[in-house]
Amino acid sequence: MSTDDVTSSVPAGGPRVGIVMGSDSDWPTMKAAAEALEEFGVPYEADVVSAHRMPEEMLRYGKDAAGRGLGVIIAGAGGAAHLPGMLAAVTPLPVVGVPVPLRYLDGMDSLLSIVQMPAGVPVATVAIGNARNAGLLAVRILAASDAGLRQKMEEFQESLAESARAKGAAVRG
């Protein structure tokens, strides 16, 4: 292996998913993404990277993410939620957007800000407040090229089926 190969390879054990949010007030919503990643043993990092309050850092985060070995970015924000879209504009990585519900408008403002991206700059948007699905989607994206992770996802899906069947049995009596 040449020196170039070493320097271009992904650091072993480093974070594969970056979880970012516009404010620490988003963390109570966003921590469900971290918990999902922990369930699957996926290393992640989490930080506040505000599109409006720290735009230069936000752009640097997006531009550096792939080179640092991240495979997916999960970005959550509320209100005029530009963070996921702006990150998607400057990174080739898949970006999963989490609309964080705030006090007014029930999160519809966040949802529409994140989901209505122009053609060419996709953000995979989950339901309002559903950061758990963002974590699970990040696992699926990584699992597309990771057989071990795919196996874990299949086992998780089977556990969901088992749980649903048990609920059916409880209803049937």
* Residues of the shown chain interacting with ligand RP5 in the complex, contacts defined by CB under 6 A: 21-23, 25-26, 50, 52, 77-79, 100, 102
Q: Is 11 within 8 Å of 66 (Cβ atoms)?
A: no
Tell me the residue number closest to ligand RP5, measured at CB.
22
User: Shortest Cβ distance from residue 43 to ligand RP5 (Å)?
Assistant: 24
Using the minimum distance from each CB to ligand RP5, give the nearer residue, 17 or 100: 100
Helices (H), the chain: 3-8, 27-39, 55-65, 83-90, 108-115, 131-143, 147-172
Using the minimum distance from each CB to ligand RP5, give the nearer residue, 27 or 156: 27
Return the residue matching tokens 């699905």.
133
Using the minimum distance from each CB to ligand RP5, give the nearer residue, 107 or 135: 107
Q: Is 141 within 8 Å of 44 (Cβ atoms)?
A: no
Q: Which of 68, 92, 77, 81 lies closest to 17 in space, CA to CA? A: 68
Using the minimum distance from each CB to ligand RP5, give the nearer residue, 71 or 76: 76
26 is in an annotated binding site: yes
53 is in an annotated binding site: yes
**Alpha-carbon dihedral angle through residues 77, 79, 83, 86, given to the nearest 10 degrees:** 160
User: Shortest Cβ distance from residue 16 to ligand RP5 (Å)?
Assistant: 23
Q: Mark the binding-site residues for substrate, compressed into ranges.
A: 23, 26, 53
